[in-house]
Structure 1
Amino acid sequence: MNSSSLDLTLASRLANIAPFHVMELAKMATELERQGRHIIHMGIGEPDFTAAQPVIDAAARAMADGRLQYTSATGIPALREAIAAHYQRVYGLQIAPSRIIVTAGASAALLLACAALVEKDAEVLMPDPSYPCNRHFVAAFDGKAKMIPSGPEQRFQLSDAKVRENWSAVTGGVLLASPSNPTGTSIPHQELAKIVATVRETNGFTIVDEIYQGLTYDEEPFSALSLGEDVIVINSFSKYFNMTGWRLGWLVVPEKMVPQIEKLAQNLFICASSIAQHAGVACFEPESIAIYEQRKAEFKRRRDYIVPMLRELGFKVPVTPDGAFYVYADCSALSDDADRLTIDMLNRAGVVLVPGLDFGPYTARQYIRLSYATSMENLQEAVNRLRHYFNVRH
């Protein structure tokens, strides 16, 4: 039988997974570049910095020494210990290395957490807007993401009142991100403590994505792990440590969950990249941390430039982002359709921004997300192009 005549029946859960419009815009930008256009990319959330030199050197040593075999599914001891020491140094928290599971990026950590905690048809509460993959991780295990409209009054984050209002008999838990993609906003410590207490009362789970926690600019950073051992935290080497393509992250879980997470990791992933793990240990050396702190200061400088410029261009930025490298800007004074506006800005100004479409229906048509994880020169050129674009357009 010819393979083209086969009619495979695909799993029905695929209907719950929406396309990622960020990547669609990136493809459109690539095609314009192929035609010779110069495009400024402020869509995908990827640092323009790459791994620090000590990290690259550590990876080279691991390869030269032949440390390329499978590791434990939970990660090499040296890396788990280095992460635990990082929590002590930065947050003053004593986290047992045995609670830390090294994963193939934060995505694998979220998959493992959802595999362990999300029951079929259970609802998981999250704010609208949220990083789109979070609701898809829930859907992958036949759960249902309940997107709760969360506007600038709540810093685009869930509040304890909203959690209480939306909790029902079928709610399993909450999935939060602080600081958040797409908004760059954090949940205040006291509000997060209230949410955790509310969820704990109902025997639910709290998962907090902290992959941007290293990039907080206005307040002393804190980890949700300070709120109790039952809080599950996700983190990554991609953002603060600038290692996106290395696919390395971690998951912190209660001690009693470790054997179950390890069992899942063994079956789903075997282990994270051994080279990336050996390199990751070097991220926590003082020389590396000094580099990352300089880069963090540069991200803050870019934020402090681009937010006023967006307001000058006619965008509203109702909440100044306090972390990550995103601005969530209201474009309603400029257009009634953020998706159409971003496509037009790409084609006519050569600037990639992302519509709210990916991040939930509540802000889909009104907001755009800008990533300032690019050079100051690119940001300044983008502002010049957009200023010309809006002048001509009007």
Structure 2
Amino acid sequence: MPRLATRTNDFLTFQVMELFKQAQALQAAGKDIISLGIGEPDFTAPPQVVEALERAARAGQSGYSPSAGLTPLREAIAQFYHEQFGAKVDPSRVIVTAGASGALTLACAALVNGGGEVLMPDPSYPANSNFVLAAGGVPRLIPSTAEKRFQLSAQDVARHWTPATQGVLIASPSNPTGTSIAHDELAELLAQVRARDGFAIVDEIYLGLSYEGQPRSALTLDDDVIVINSFSKYFHMTGWRLGWMIVPQDMVAPVEKIAASLAICAPTLAQHAALACFSANAMKTFEHRREAFKQRRDYLLPEFERLGIQVPVKPDGAFYIYADISNLGMDSAAFSQRLLLEAGVAAVPGLDFGPAHGRHTMRFSYATGLDRLEEAVARMGRLLK
């Protein structure tokens, strides 16, 4: 067997996908499993998008696109950011990617030096550490608290920045917590990073799924941040593998050069289809679905309280609840397995998102129908009773 690179030992196992495989095996064996695990909307692309895909396929529009993406799509994304999130963006700064994962891969390849540290909060989406590792960097998880909404703060940046630190990677709203960074606090954090000549990668893939007030992009605070977004969550196109990044003008050419080698381009048919996402009718559909997610959140929060499952911070976005199970008498790994095997409910142990709170937290996804959530709550109630 070839000798593997040492970094393979450092890569984190994505427990969400391991749980997903276990749940699928149980379903294949005939067991009814309600998934509160994987972060995938139960909604799919609306008819306008599917029809646009079919038209593009019949027209033979399946060749390579420019490495930065189709110009009309880049223009539509820039307009979307202006109308929805208050950020004026030159379309030339938009780079269409193979999902948000492709965007994060490109961002880390362009910014992270070998041995360079990248600060991120604990808890965080586990794959973020792996993107940094793949670029030769060192992810540093900084334990956060409920008082900080489980987010990185300006004080954290000032306290933990070292000569080896190059930047920060944050998400607002966050996976796994569903919490956002308040706009004034985000401004302070970005100012601390800028003062140290560092970079800030801001994951905004759940920004469209914000439930409290009008969401604003980090680009309204600092034009030099690197913003990551995707068609997977708000637009419900997970398997289409289409995302984008918005970068400072000086980064466009270097990132485009890297993209041309690593991926050539994002899936072209998906790009043509995604143009239909920005039609008036499609946007009405997405907004209606956003309200459905909010309804699910508002159903689950009091039900969890009734079951004795504590939620330290009310999520204001995404479709996750980060819950504290300290008073249930078992750690998160054991509770996750009991939920799956005894109640037929899949939910992710907090250890997947960092060690600081991992043993006594769980992440529950409400990206499934309200009727199934009601049944999941009933099953959990019987188990806990």
Q: Which residue of 1 aligns with 2:241?
A: 247
Could you say which residue in structure 1 is the equivalent of 2:136? 142
Q: 1:49 aligns with which of 43, 51, 66?
A: 43
Structure 1 residue 173 and structure 2 residue 167: aligned?
Answer: yes
After alignment, is 18-27 or 200-209 more displaced?
A: 18-27
Residue 72 of structure 2: aligned partner: 78
2:153 equivalent in structure 1: 159
| Whole-Å separation in 2 of the counterparts to 1:99 and 1:34 | 45
Q: Which moved further from structure 2: 94-103 or 331-340?
A: 331-340
Secondary structure in 2 aligned to 1:215?
A: coil
Counterparts of 1:319 and 1:263 in 2: how far apart (Å)? 42
Contact 1:248 1:277 in 2 (8 A): yes
Show CA shifts across 1:236-270 (max 9, x none). Answer: 00000000000000000000110000000000000
The Cα offsets for residues 293-313 of structure 1, whole Å up to 9 and x where unpaired, read as 000000000000011111111
* Paired AA for residue 117 in structure 2: E
1:44-69 Cα shifts (integer Å, max 9, x gaps): 00000000111111111101111111
**For 1:333, what is the secondary structure of its paired residue?**
helix
Could you say which residue in structure 2 is the equivalent of 1:62? Answer: 56
Question: Residue in 2 aligned with 1:130?
Answer: 124
Whether the 8 Å CA contact 1:103–1:248 is kept in 2: the answer is yes
Shift of 1:90: 1.3
Residue 19 of structure 1 deviates from its aligned partner by: 1.3
* Partner Cα distance (2:342, 2:88) in 1: 53
SS in 2 for 1:181: coil
- For the Cα contact (< 8 Å) 1:74–1:101, is it kept in 2? yes
Q: Which residue of 2 aligns with 1:301?
A: 295
Match of 1:188 among 176, 182, 206: 182
The residue type paired with residue 40 of structure 1 is I
1:108-123 to 2 correspondences below 5 Å: 108-123=102-117
Matched, 1:212 2:206: yes
Query: 1:93: how far off?
Result: 2.3
Matches of residues 230-379 of structure 1 in structure 2 within 5 Å?
Answer: 230-379=224-373
Q: Equivalent residue of 1:145, what SS? A: strand
- Per-residue CA deviations over 1:78-127 (Å, capped at 9, x if unaligned) read 10000011112112322000000000000000000000000111110000
TM-score normalised by length of structure 2: 0.99
Q: Residue 385 of structure 1: which of 376, 379, 384 is its match?
A: 379
- C-alpha distance in 1, partners of 2:213/2:161? 30
Residues in 1 aligned to 2:381 and 2:99: alpha-carbon distance in whole angstroms = 38
Secondary structure in structure 2 of the residue aligned to 1:130: coil
Uncovered stretches (5+) of structure 2, i.e. residues with no partner: none
Query: Could you tell me which amino acid in structure 2 is paired with residue 8 of structure 1?
Result: P
Q: Is the 8 A contact 1:130 1:360 kept in 2?
A: yes
Query: Which amino acid in structure 1 is aligned with residue 62 of structure 2?
Result: L
User: Partner of 2:3 in structure 1?
Assistant: 9
Aligned residue for 1:291, secondary structure, equals helix
Structure 2 Cα separation of the partners of residues 311 and 60 of structure 1: 46
Moved over 6 A (4+): none
Instruction: Find the aligned partners of 2:329 and 2:102 in 1 and give their Cα distance.
Output: 37
How many residues of Structure 1 are paired with residues of Structure 2 in the alignment?
Answer: 385
Deviates more, 1:158-167 or 1:236-245: 158-167
Shift of 1:22: 1.2
**Which segment is superposed worse, 79-88 or 31-40?**
31-40
**Cα distance in 2 for residues equivalent to 1:67 and 1:169:** 49
Q: Secondary structure at the match of 2:102?
A: helix
TM-score by length of 1: 0.97
Aligned letter for 2:8?
L
SS for the counterpart of 1:365 is helix
Distance 1:27 1:59 in 2: 29
Q: Percent identity?
A: 54
Gaps of 5+ in 1: 1-6
Contact 1:335-1:341 within 8 A present in 2 as well: no
